[in-house]
Amino acid sequence: MTYSISDLSRELDITTRAIRFYEEQGMLSPERRGQERIYSPRDKVTLKLILRGKRIGFSLAECRELIELYDPSGNQRQLTSMLAKIAERRSQLQQQLLDIQQMQLELDTAEERCTQALAELAPLPATAQE
């Protein structure tokens, strides 16, 4: 079975421009029939792997590296590398979460100080000034 660029675009909910970009990056290699691109099932799987990698925060270079490790006779190296990248990404996300929580605390403190300063600057009600 083969796929046109519009087939893949529709099926994977991705723009044809994005597919052409991945092709320009050397990650997809469709056959050509004149101007028409003909994608193989392997191209479709590769594109799915790229999209999955991007969703979980892998760079394009990391996606390429994982795809290049694929070995039809056994993909132990690919899976081991994927697990290492997952652990690294999880660690990065944990650090980002801690950074966000710290920033929220700092925002809370700044907000509290501003609110307090505004309350101190507010004019007294008319009855209290008399």
Tell me the average pLDDT across 23-44. 92
DSSP 49-98: HHHHHHHTT--HHHHHHHHHT--TT--HHHHHHHHHHHHHHHHHHHHHHH
| pTM as predicted | 0.70
% the chain with pLDDT above 70:
94
More confident of the two residues 39 and 79: 39
Please give the average per-residue pLDDT across 82-94, as a whole number.
Answer: 93
Is 32 strand, coil or helix?
strand
Averaged pLDDT of the chain: 90
**Cβ-contact 63, 29 below 8 angstroms:** no
- Residue 117, class by beta-carbon neighbours within 10 Å (0-12 exposed, 13-18 middle, 19+ buried)? exposed
Look up the CATH architecture of domain 1-68.
Answer: Orthogonal Bundle (1.10)
Q: Where are the domains of the chain?
A: 1-68, 74-120
Q: Burial, 81: exposed, middle or buried (Cβ in 10 Å; 0-12, 13-18, 19+)?
A: middle
> Tokens representing 114?
């501003």
Flag whether pLDDT at 88 surpasses 90.
yes
